[in-house]
Amino acid sequence: MSAEGLERQTRSYLSNEVPQIQQHGGNFEIRDVDEEAGTATVAIGGVCPGCGIAPMTMKAIERRLPESVEGLEDVEVVRSGGPRAAVMPSKTDEMDEMDEYDDYSPPF
């Protein structure tokens, strides 16, 4: 599949299966797609202040997106920087490292 096809399917999955990102004032952007390697980098950001489940949502997207998009083997989800950056409490940085959230299964 072409990079454009992988990007389109990734965008469709995020828009349709993870509407909470946009419904809660956040946004996502697909930063990179490598069709040969089957990888994608997705950045989430926007107005996510105080979002305690952002790290778990990021991990869930990394697990579920490759299962849902044919040709996609690996996904990295990062936080946006710059003017569209998410403002999240420092506590979420600690949560990124907590094993307790590895198996988090959000309703998407």
Residue 32: inside a domain, yes or no? yes
- Mean pLDDT, rounded, of the chain: 79
Residue 57 sits in which domain range? 3-79
Q: How many domains does the chain have?
A: 1
Residue 14: inside a domain, yes or no? yes
From residue 52, how far is each of 4, 64, 84, 94 by CA, in Å? 33, 20, 18, 11
Residue 48: inside a domain, yes or no? yes
Confidence of residue 105 (pLDDT cuts 50, 70, 90): low
Q: What is the pTM of this model?
A: 0.73
Residue 96: inside a domain, yes or no? no
